[in-house]
Structure 1
Amino acid sequence: MTSPVSTPSQAPDATPPAASAPAAASINLRSQLGTYIGLALVLCGMVALFSSLSDYFLTVETFVTIANEIPALAVMAVGMTFVLIIAGIDLSVGSVLALSAAVTAAAIVQWKLAVPLAAALGLATGLLCGAITGAVAVAWRLPTFIVSLGMLEAVRGGAYLVTESRTQYVGDAIAGLAAPWVGGISAAFVLALAIVAVGQLLLTRTVFGRYVVGIGTNEEAMRLAGVDPRPIRVIVFAATGLLAGLAGLMQAARLEAADPNSGVGIELQVIAAVVIGGTSLMGGRGSVVNTFFGVLIIAVLEAGLAQVGASEPSKRIITGAVIVAAVIIDTLRQRRAGTA
């Protein structure tokens, strides 16, 4: 009986599948760490730059102020990260923020509901708006850009109707969310950090997160694998609406009022933070932690420009240039990965 002879495919230099997975994981981990370090260095460089330009920037008060101003932007950016990963976009988050805050304020001031019930109603409003956006886009296979643009206008109109085009003052009814905790840091900031952590774990450590990345990478392949992407898309948009509703509560708590004009243009800041954090506009790649770095970069940039006396037009030009630079870097990264 002859002994079996090795075929070319069984050559010693062929990498066993079991060995290739850890190697790929190690490469991915190094890439993530490199991105974290790169974003941290950019953030530190900006802090050093503005500290050299202003004697008042490198103070505890400045950083506490930044921390207490970013929770609304941070929680919306978490939702937008998932939306961009599935190759979608949601332009309605600013309007959803305004409507959710308006519903909460109206429930407290006009309808005399208990504060917990009013807050739940505001959150439910955001959840419903996001679910409608996702369901319409999925049911009729419409571009999410167009659907969310229509929702932006419709929901903003709803905010004006609920408030009768007037600012609704809620006083300290929900001020506890913006109340300072240790070192002057607000409860909203602590909650935002918790949501960032949960979002990152959901994206990287759950089956749902793998499905989200898979849909953004190759939706047809997910279908062939037996995964229906439609409910996942709706869930992502609904969750983004819910987080926008929470952002509305955070902003209303900080201002002690709900303004129907609040959140105008904030969707561009949200998208900018996510893109600066390295999430691909083409879908399939992103990180919630990196998005939080993007939020911090935008916040530090705005605070620094304000302290050095930059005019509003100058701040817009510089912020726009940073966004374009982030998109260019993302495009170059994609091309390099495609040719590797």
Structure 2
Amino acid sequence: MTLGTTTSAPPAAAAVAWRGLRGELATYLGLTGVLVAMVALFGALSQHFLSVDTFVTIANEIPALAVMAVGMTFVLIIAGIDLSVGSVLALSAALSATAIVQWQWPAGAAAALGLAAGAVCGSVTGAVSVAWRLPSFIVSLGMLEVVRGAAYLVTESRTQYVGDAIGGLAQPWVGGISAAFVLAIALVALGQLVLSRTVFGRCVVGIGTNEEAMRLAGVDPRPVRIAVFALTGLLAGLAGLMQAARLEAADPNAGQGMELRVIAAVVIGGTSLMGGRGSVVNTFFGVLIIAVLEAGLAQVGASEPSKRIITGCVIVVAVVFDTVRQRRAAGG
């Protein structure tokens, strides 16, 4: 009887899990290193950057971006994209503000209307792309224009000033940090929990990895896709309320170009544009990197064209780095 076999080597599944955990840890450390290096750089370039006021300001400005990035993470993981989130933000804020200012609705009902509008917009985008098997890029591009036009119609192309009617989200808590920031952190944690610890999250990852395999396993990907877009619309609606609360006004032009910042934050966080891989926590690191970069460039006096060039280069470098890392992982 041969006794040359050994049980010391871990099973294949355990080895794969260990490699995945090691990869996640390396991503966390890499993103943290980039963030720390940026803070150190701007601290050296500007004598006012390393201050409590700067970090409190950054924290109070990122909730809308962070909340939308949570939803966009799910969308990119299923290999989709939603370009309408900036317009949905504007429509949600416009509806809520108009309901308060012109229709005399209570703040709670007006906020619910804005959230419902966001969820409906996302659901329509998801349903149309699923029903007619259209690329979500095209459908959401059309929805971007439709929703933006609706925001102009609702407000009659005028800014609606709501004062502190929904200002609770912008109220400072401990150390001047707003309630919106605390809520954003809670949603990041909840999003990561849903993605990594629930059946829905596993279905999302599975659809992005191999949709046909999920279908053969008995999982209908269509309702999952629609639910992901509905969630993204809902969170964009919440972002609209957060922005309106911070500015005490709803501008129908709000959120223009914000979808690009959201996608940039998610991509910088390591979520694959090809689907099947992503992390909400890593996305939040991406949000912080975008916010610190913008704040630092503003403090050192960079011009708007320069800021756009630098931000664009950071996005390209992040995508290239992620592609190289994936190829190395696939190679062994």
For each residue in 1:31-87, what CA deviation from the matched residue of structure 2 results, as whole angstroms up to 9, or x when unmatched?
A: 111111110010000000000000000000000000000000000000000000000
Structure 1 residue aligned with 2:38, among 46, 52, 57? 46
Residue 206 of structure 1 corresponds to: 198
Residue 64 of structure 2 corresponds to: 72
The runs of 5 or more residues in structure 2 that have no matched partner are: none
Cα distance, 1:322 vs structure 2 = 0.4
Matches within 5 A, 1:148-187: 148-187=140-179
Structure 2 residue aligned with 1:246, among 232, 238, 242? 238
Residue 303 of structure 2 corresponds to: 311
Larger Rg: 1
Call closer, same or farther: CA 1:95–1:15 in 2, change over 3 Å: farther
Structure 2 residue aligned with 1:12, among 5, 23, 29? 5
Cα distance, 1:337 vs structure 2 = 2.7
Q: Please say if 1:289 is aligned against 2:281.
A: yes
Residue 99 of structure 1 corresponds to: 91
Cα distance, 1:136 vs structure 2 = 0.2
Residue 327 of structure 2 corresponds to: 335
Q: Which residue type is aligned with residue 26 of structure 2?
A: G
Call closer, same or farther: CA 1:284–1:11 in 2, change over 3 Å: farther
**Structural RMSD (CA):** 1.5
Cα distance, 1:11 vs structure 2 = 8.1
Residue 262 of structure 2 corresponds to: 270
TM-score, scaled to structure 2: 0.97
Cα distance, 1:15 vs structure 2 = 8.8
Structure 2 residue aligned with 1:233, among 207, 212, 225? 225
Q: How many residues align?
A: 332
Q: Please say if 1:27 is aligned against 2:27.
A: no
- Alpha-carbon distance between aligned partners in 2 of 1:20 and 1:311, rounded to the nearest angstrom: 53
- Alpha-carbon distance between aligned partners in 2 of 1:85 and 1:183, rounded to the nearest angstrom: 35
Could you say what secondary structure the match of 1:97 adopts? helix
Q: Which residue type is aligned with residue 45 of structure 1?
A: A
Cα distance, 1:310 vs structure 2 = 0.2
- Alpha-carbon distance between aligned partners in 2 of 1:112 and 1:180, rounded to the nearest angstrom: 26
Residue 280 of structure 1 corresponds to: 272
- Alpha-carbon distance between aligned partners in 1 of 2:227 and 2:6, rounded to the nearest angstrom: 45
Residue 78 of structure 2 corresponds to: 86
- Alpha-carbon distance between aligned partners in 2 of 1:325 and 1:35, rounded to the nearest angstrom: 15
Cα distance, 1:14 vs structure 2 = 8.4
Q: Which residue type is aligned with residue 27 of structure 1?
A: R
- Alpha-carbon distance between aligned partners in 1 of 2:288 and 2:58, rounded to the nearest angstrom: 8
- Alpha-carbon distance between aligned partners in 1 of 2:4 and 2:203, rounded to the nearest angstrom: 35
TM-score, scaled to structure 1: 0.95
The runs of 5 or more residues in structure 1 that have no matched partner are: none
Q: Percent identity?
A: 78
